[in-house]
Structure 1
Amino acid sequence: MDLTDKVVVVTGGSAGLGEQICYEAAKRGAIVVTCARRINLIGQVKEHCSDLSGKEAYAFQLDISDPDSVESVIEKIADEVGEVDVLVNNAGFGLFDSFVDFDLNVAKNMFEVNVLGMMYFTQKIAISMVKNKSGHIFNVASMAGKMATPKSTVYSATKFAVLGFSNALRLELRTENVYVTTINPGPIATEFFDKADPSGSYLDNLGGVVLDPHKLARTIVNKMGRPTREINRPIIMEGASRFYGLFPHIGDFLAGGLFNRK
């Protein structure tokens, strides 16, 4: 897709992967709309996007778990920006802990952010895309949604839900000329792990398989406007997830041992 003057909306666009997707889209001439809770950070992202694209960019404060906040942002996008060409659902969080010790209030909030809020926001945008017979939706899931490991019970459950939702939505919308792509990253060197793993040991233990958010953002933006089922990174984890599906008993052994670095 030639992104010149195309409207690209990114949730969770204040930092990390979402921030880098905003910048890559702006470099290609897109009108970028970044949405997140931290208004001070998205303001900075907005300014940088405008510098990169040479055109107007937008920043709207969004609590994806709050339907009223979603409604407000959708209205602002419609009134101030226009029709959305590309939606990247990147907002989400995780927490790695043993399930028997897990705070289920946090689990409820994780589903509200990672799944229900994402679905609500997507539906509002998809209605317009179907009407226009054009659009591309990217849902950021995770390798944890393909191959669960210890201490990721709730997070994996939310990402399994994102995968199932995306696969069905892809089939529903393909006749409407609206593409749906699922992004399944492994661990990315971002502040996501400040909350998911406050000890910092997880990323240290993983070493070379940790993803660079700049490179992954470029890969994602390269796929905008192209029918792509999934983006899976790193390749070694994609291979492991396929092996897991073919040989589940061996996969359980590996996921509980070799691949368990939390």
Structure 2
Amino acid sequence: MSSIELRGRIVLLTGASSGIGALAARLLAERGAVPVLAARSADKLAAVSAGIRGEHARYECDVRSAASVDETVARTLERFGRIDALVNNAGYGEFLSFEETELSRFEAMMDVNYMGTVRFCKAVYPAMKRAGAGHIVNVASIAGKIGTAKATGYAASKHAVLGFTNSLRQELRGSGIKISALNPGPIDTPFFDRADPEGTYKRNIRRFMMQPDTVALALVRLLETGKAERDLPLVSAAGAKLIQLFPVLTAGVAARLLNKK
């Protein structure tokens, strides 16, 4: 597959104040792209910005607010005149049993992980449609393909992101706008500070956890290749396919291997 030149491209990234978003922003800048960082924390955004060489921008933004999302997109368009790519990376998880998860926690995760993605796609779509070009990368998760215990709220939100991405891809056919999904397994990032505060899950799966720079590079490669989807690591990608093809046969094995929370 041919590589897309990133130099000079305006790439808007949500969740860019830490983890994968911050690392991807730096990688994009190194490739000559113009990363536009969006996140809630002004202090964290400033710290990430200080480590980026080359032209870039940063905006405080809350993906839970349509007004905040619209303002961020409008300011980006006002400054740069276009948005070549959008990376929907903002999200979080909480690993709790269904019984102890309050409805408000389900709603909050869906609001950030799923509706935050929808809000940004809606906001950038008109400009991309006018341009007849653009690329959207939605960072979902292997959890969007493989459900595990104590992840009912998180997995549901990522299933929603994947369903939305796959459906929107069909609507965008012939428009010049591409849409991709990145589905990583567990990554050693601050995500687990909230998802797994006691560290039980991290200890149980430590040998399977990916380093964040590996995932950030995979994200950038999706922008360069335009592929529809990327699952990683390879063992998770293979496992997801097996479980989807043979859900009954693999149920017991999957439970023993995956229910580590």
Instruction: Find out whether 1:170 has 2:169 as its counterpart.
Output: yes
The answer to whether the 8 Å contact 2:105/2:153 transfers is no
Looking at structure 1, the residues matched to 112 and 84 of structure 2 have their Cα atoms a distance apart, in angstroms, of 23
Looking at structure 2, the residues matched to 175 and 207 of structure 1 have their Cα atoms a distance apart, in angstroms, of 43
Offset of residue 179 of structure 1: 1.0
Offset of residue 98 of structure 1: 0.4
Q: Structure 1 unaligned segments of length 5 or more: list them.
A: none
Name 1:6's counterpart in structure 2: 9
Name 2:51's counterpart in structure 1: 48
For residue 167 of structure 1, what is the amino acid of its counterpart? N
Offset of residue 226 of structure 1: 2.6
Name 2:248's counterpart in structure 1: 249
Looking at structure 2, the residues matched to 170 and 186 of structure 1 have their Cα atoms a distance apart, in angstroms, of 23
Looking at structure 1, the residues matched to 249 and 193 of structure 2 have their Cα atoms a distance apart, in angstroms, of 31
The answer to whether the 8 Å contact 1:36/1:60 transfers is yes
Name 1:23's counterpart in structure 2: 26
Name 1:106's counterpart in structure 2: 105
The answer to whether the 8 Å contact 1:130/1:173 transfers is no
Name 2:260's counterpart in structure 1: 261
Report matched runs for 1:90-239 at 5 Å: 90-239=89-238
TM-score norm. by structure 2 comes to 0.95
User: Deviations for 1:186-240, whole angstroms, at most 9, x for unmatched residues?
Assistant: 0000000000000112122112221111122112212214331111111101111
The answer to whether the 8 Å contact 2:38/2:60 transfers is yes
For residue 62 of structure 1, what is the amino acid of its counterpart? C
Identity, in percent, stands at 36
The answer to whether the 8 Å contact 1:86/1:137 transfers is yes
Looking at structure 1, the residues matched to 91 and 173 of structure 2 have their Cα atoms a distance apart, in angstroms, of 26
The answer to whether the 8 Å contact 2:128/2:134 transfers is yes
For residue 73 of structure 2, what is the amino acid of its counterpart? I
User: Deviations for 1:157-182, whole angstroms, at most 9, x for unmatched residues?
Assistant: 00100000000111111311111110
Instruction: Find out whether 1:240 has 2:243 as its counterpart.
Output: no
Q: How many residues align?
A: 258
For residue 10 of structure 1, what is the amino acid of its counterpart? L
Looking at structure 1, the residues matched to 202 and 80 of structure 2 have their Cα atoms a distance apart, in angstroms, of 38
Name the SS for the 1:150 alignment partner.
coil
Looking at structure 1, the residues matched to 207 and 233 of structure 2 have their Cα atoms a distance apart, in angstroms, of 10
Name 1:87's counterpart in structure 2: 86
User: Deviations for 1:132-186, whole angstroms, at most 9, x for unmatched residues?
Assistant: 1111100011111101000000101001000000001111113111111101000
Offset of residue 254 of structure 1: 2.6
Looking at structure 1, the residues matched to 212 and 67 of structure 2 have their Cα atoms a distance apart, in angstroms, of 31
For residue 223 of structure 1, what is the amino acid of its counterpart? L
For residue 173 of structure 1, what is the amino acid of its counterpart? L
Looking at structure 2, the residues matched to 40 and 233 of structure 1 have their Cα atoms a distance apart, in angstroms, of 31
For residue 245 of structure 2, what is the amino acid of its counterpart? L
From 29, 35, 39, the equivalent of 1:36 is 39
C-alpha distance 48-81 of structure 1, shift in aligned 2 (>3 A)? farther
For residue 22 of structure 1, what is the amino acid of its counterpart? A
Name 1:77's counterpart in structure 2: 76
